[in-house]
Amino acid sequence: MSNYSNIFVNEGLTYSKYRNLIDSLLKSNKTTGDDHSEAMLHYSKMNVQRMSRVDKTGVLNEAFIQAIKKLQKSYQLLVISEGWCGDAAQIVPIFEKMVEFAPEKFSLRFVLRDKNLPLIDAHLTNGGRAIPVLLLLDANGELISKWGPRPETLQDLLGEWKTEISDMFELAERLHLWYARDKTQTTQLELTALISDLEN
């Protein structure tokens, strides 16, 4: 698939609708996807808090702002995500902040991974269906670039941690501690590089 216009328009959720869907499902003791176990519900509840925190405290840094200002064209941001995904909770609010800062340059939509398996299977990370994945499209829905499922620095660290830690809860704790200390700066740095290359 090289053109994503149909899925962007017909299946994509705005950030507010994505957030509302997660909240609505949680009220029924469910989350996105088919696994509604206690663990997945717990992850989703924690992720609502994480997204709310980044919504409130996340600020685009100056380098990112300047890179956005230089863009002459408009782009579509199609994000493959799920409510239970911890990385997504730490990252996707920054995509929304890009739209808030420059709505004339970016439009943002979310699709759920497990309802769009052919889509995620076209964008695997090391053979796995890791999310979130940002598909950066031109105004016609053609794929230009992609990013995800987490900052490259963290991806490398995670590979190291997995050789040391077998407990998934401990691994998740270390992951979210990294995000808390980083305060979205590495994510913004990589996204700055991504969009700086768009029109060069």
Cβ-based neighbours of 159, under 8 Å, separated by 6 or more: none
pLDDT in tens, 131-144: 999 999 999 999 99
Q: What's residue 200's pLDDT? A: 77
- Banded pLDDT at 1 (limits 50, 70, 90): low
Report the b/e string of 59-91 with b at 16+ CB within 10 A.
Answer: ebeeebbebbeebeeebbbbbbbbbbbbbbbbb
Q: What's residue 167's pLDDT? A: 87
Number of residues written out for the chain: 200
Q: Is the pLDDT of residue 2 over 80?
A: no
Determine the average pLDDT of the residues in 175-200.
95
Q: If phi over 0 gives left and psi between -120 and 50 gives alpha, with beta otherwise, what is residue 29?
A: left
pLDDT in tens, 56-105: 999 999 999 999 999 999 999 999 999 999 999 999 999 999 999 999 99
Q: What is the architecture, at CATH level 2, of domain 5-196? A: 3-Layer(aba) Sandwich (3.40)
Query: Residue 106: how many CB atoms within 10 A of its CB?
Result: 20
Q: Where are the domains of the chain?
A: 5-196
What global pTM score does this model have?
0.95
Q: Is the pLDDT of residue 117 over 80?
A: yes
Q: Is the pLDDT of residue 112 over 80?
A: yes
Which letter does DSSP use for residue 113 in this model?
G
